[in-house]
Amino acid sequence: MRPNVLLIVLDSVRAANTSLHGYHRETTPFLSEFSKEATVYREARTNGRWSVPAHASLFTGYAASEHGLYSPTSKLKPEQTIFHELGEAGYRTGLFSSNSFVTGEIDTGLHLDFEKVVGDLEPFFPEGIDPLNYNGGVGSFLRDAMCHKHPVQSVINGILTKLGWDYPYIIPTSLTAGTSASRPLDSYYINQFEQWKENGTGPWAACVNLMDAHVPYLPASNPWASFRAKQRHLQWGLDWEILSKERFDLLPEFTDLYDGAIQQTDSHLQRIITNLKRSGEFEDTLIVIAGDHGEGFGEQSPIRGIPVIQHLYGFHECILHVPLITKHPGQTESETIDELAALQGFPQLVRDTVFENQQTDMRKSEIYVSGHLTDNNIQSWQQHTDSDPRFRGHVQLKYEQNEHNQIVKYIGWKSRAIEMNGQKVRPISREELERDFDSLSDMEMILSNDEQEISESTTRKLEDLGYL
C-alpha cells in the first residue's frame, strides 16, 4: 500500500526563532525531539516572501518566476499541483486552514486540486447574513439585516462577529468557537483534519496550514510576555502603522508574542504527530513540516537601508530562511543537511516516495526567489518606505553554495544587482542575474487568464492579516 502524505505548513515561522535552529528560547521543544527521527534542513529557503507564491511553489514545484502567482488578483488553474497527481492515483486529498489565500475564500486557485477543503467558518446562525463575507459598511449591514428573512439571526451574527474579532476577551470563546464570529483557531482545523482522516479508507494526502504564528500573534499563554494587560493591548489594539520607522521601540514586545505563538504552534505539531502514532499511521506517512515564509521585527535590510517589518516587503533572511523537516515512511535515524534546500522540492520528494519508492530529499543547488514589492500591500508599503521609488517594481534573487560551502545570495532590482556572501556585499552585472532567470521555464500558462477584482470583504481579510 502506498504511504500517506502530510504537509504541515508553519505559516510565518522563521528559522531564526526556533530552538531547533539554536534560538535562545525553547520555542520548538517538540520539533527538536521529532528531529531525532527525521531529516532537518539547516539552510532551507522559501521561494516567495508571502503565502501565495510560497504555497504555489510548494504545490507545483516551480519557482515563483516560473508559476507567476504573486498576487491574489491572479489564479492558478486546476490540475497543476502534486495534490492533483495524488488524487489521480487514488488518494483522498484534504486542505485545512484559516488562511483564506490558500483555502479559496480569496480565490488564488491553490485549493482547486483538493477533494476536501476546510477554510472559513460559517456564522453563528448560518441562515443569517455572514458579516465576514458582506460587502458594505455597518449601516448598510443593519439595513440589509432587518430586511433579511432572518433579521434577528443576522443582527446577532453582526454583534457576535464584532465582539469576537475586535474585543475577544469580552465574549466567552466557548460561545463563538467553530463559527466565523471567532478568530479561527488552529485546533479547530486539526480536529477537522483528524476527523476527515479517520472517516475514510485508502491512502490520503493532506496539507494542514497552521496560522498561530501569523499576525496578530495570539498565544493562549506566553512565558515571555511580562504583563497580560500590555500583551492584550498589543494584540487587540494592533495597528500596523505604529510600526513605522518612528515606533520600533515596540518591536521587542511583538517578538515576545511571536515567540509564544511559535511555541503554541509547536504544541499543535506534537498533537498531530502523537495522534498519527496512536492511529498506527506514523510509520506509513511521508511527513513534511515547513515554514512558508518568515517574519521581520525591525532587522535592517543590508541593501535597502530600512528595517524589515512582518513580511510586507523585502527579501531579508528573516523572511526567506525557514524551518524544513521531513520524515520518510519507516525512517528512524536522524539526518542533518547543511546544503541549500527549497520549498519547491516538495512535489518531487512526494513523487519519488509515492511512485518510485525512493528516499530522496529537497536539496537544490540553486534557489530562485522573486516578487513584486508592491503586489498587495501598497498602502503599508507607502507608509513604511515613504514611497521611496527604489522599492517599486520586481526583485530577483538567487541562492547558490560556493566551493567553500558558503551560501551566496544574488539580488537584482531595476538596473542594479549585488552579490552577498555573509556581510560582504559587492556590485555585479544586472544582465548576468537576468540570464540566470531567463534559463528557467516560463510556466505562466498554468495561471487563469481571468484577473480578479478584490472585493470589500477580501480587502477586510487582507487588512486583518496585516497586508493592507
What CATH number is given to the structural domain containing 290? 3.40.720.10
Contacts of 393 (CB under 8 A, 6+ apart): 372, 373, 374, 413, 414
pLDDT of 298? 77
Range of the domain at 146: 123-182
Q: Residue 453 pLDDT more than 70?
A: no
Please count the other Cβ atoms lying within 10 Å of the Cβ belonging to residue 123: 25
Looking at 161, 182, 203, the residue that finishes a domain is 182
The residue with greater pLDDT, 185 or 77, is: 77
| 124, pLDDT greater than 60 | yes
Q: Is 233 helix (H, G, I), strand (E, B) or coil?
A: helix
Tell whether 109 and 22 lie within a shared domain: yes
For the residues 338-357, what does the mean pLDDT come to? Answer: 97
- List the single range of 134-138, 189-193, 281-285, 378-382 with lowest mean pLDDT: 378-382
pLDDT given at position 444 = 61
Percent above pLDDT 90 for the chain = 48
Q: How far apart are CA 25 and CA 429, in angstroms?
A: 41
Q: Is the pTM of this model over 0.75?
A: yes
Is the confidence at residue 377, as pLDDT, over 90? no
Report the pLDDT averaged over residues 362-368: 95
The structural domain count of the chain equals 2
What mean pLDDT do residues 187-208 have?
95
User: Could you say which of 365, 395, 418 is where a domain stops?
Assistant: 365
Q: What is the mean pLDDT of residues 71-77?
A: 84
Confidence at 382, pLDDT banded by 50, 70, 90: low
Whether residue 184 has pLDDT greater than 70: no
226/352 same-domain check:
yes
The answer on pLDDT for 24 being more than 60 is yes
174-181: long-range contacts at Cβ-Cβ below 8 A with a sequence spacing of 24 or more? 176/124, 178/121, 179/121, 179/122, 179/123, 179/124, 180/120, 180/121, 180/122, 180/123, 180/124, 180/130, 180/131, 180/132, 181/123, 181/124, 181/157
Whether 442 maps to a domain, the answer reads no
Residue 226 lies in a domain: yes
pLDDT score recorded for residue 456: 59
Residue 266 sits at the vertex; the CA angle it makes with 263 and 271, to the nearest 5 degrees, is 135
Q: Is residue 446 part of a domain?
A: no
Q: Residue 185: is its pLDDT beyond 60?
A: yes
- For 409-431, what is the mean pLDDT? 86
Q: What stretches of 129-250 show up as alpha helix (H) in DSSP?
A: 138-147, 151-166, 173-176, 186-198, 228-236
Side chain identity, residue 433: L
425 pLDDT higher than 60: yes
Place of cell 479547530: 188
User: SS3 of 455, please?
Assistant: coil
Domain assignment of residue 400, yes or no: no
Judge if 174 and 269 occupy the same domain: no
138 with 112, same domain: the answer is no
Does 358 map to a domain? Answer: yes
The reply to whether 266 falls in a domain is yes
DSSP secondary structure code for residue 99 in this structure:
-
Q: Residue 34 corresponds to which cell in the numbers above?
A: 521529532
Summarize pLDDT for 202-258 with one digit per residue, the tens.
Answer: 999 999 999 999 987 878 777 886 655 455 555 544 444 444 444 555 667 778 889
- Lookup: cell for 329: 515512511
Quick check: is 48 in a domain?
Answer: yes
Same domain, 146 and 271: no
Residues 43 and 127 in one domain: no
Where does residue 305 fall: left (phi above 0), alpha (psi -120 to 50 degrees), or beta otherwise? Answer: left
Residues 130 and 208 in one domain: no
- Helix ranges (H only) for 221-327 are 228-236, 251-278, 317-320
Residue at a domain's end among 163, 182, 201:
182
d(CA 431, CA 29): 45
Q: Can you give the pLDDT at residue 246?
A: 46
For residues 211 and 288, membership in a common domain is answered with yes
Instruction: Identify which of 63-77, 123-137, 295-309 has the greatest average pLDDT.
Output: 63-77
d(CA 295, CA 244): 16
**pLDDT band per the 50, 70, 90 thresholds, residue 376:** very low
Q: Is residue 68 located within the same domain as residue 200?
A: yes
Please tell me whether residues 307 and 225 are part of one structural domain: yes
Residues 188 and 306 in one domain: yes
- The answer to whether position 69 is within a domain reads yes
Greater pLDDT, 41 or 432: 41
Strand partners, 287: 6, 327
Residues 40 and 96 in one domain: yes
Find the mean pLDDT for residues 354-380: 79
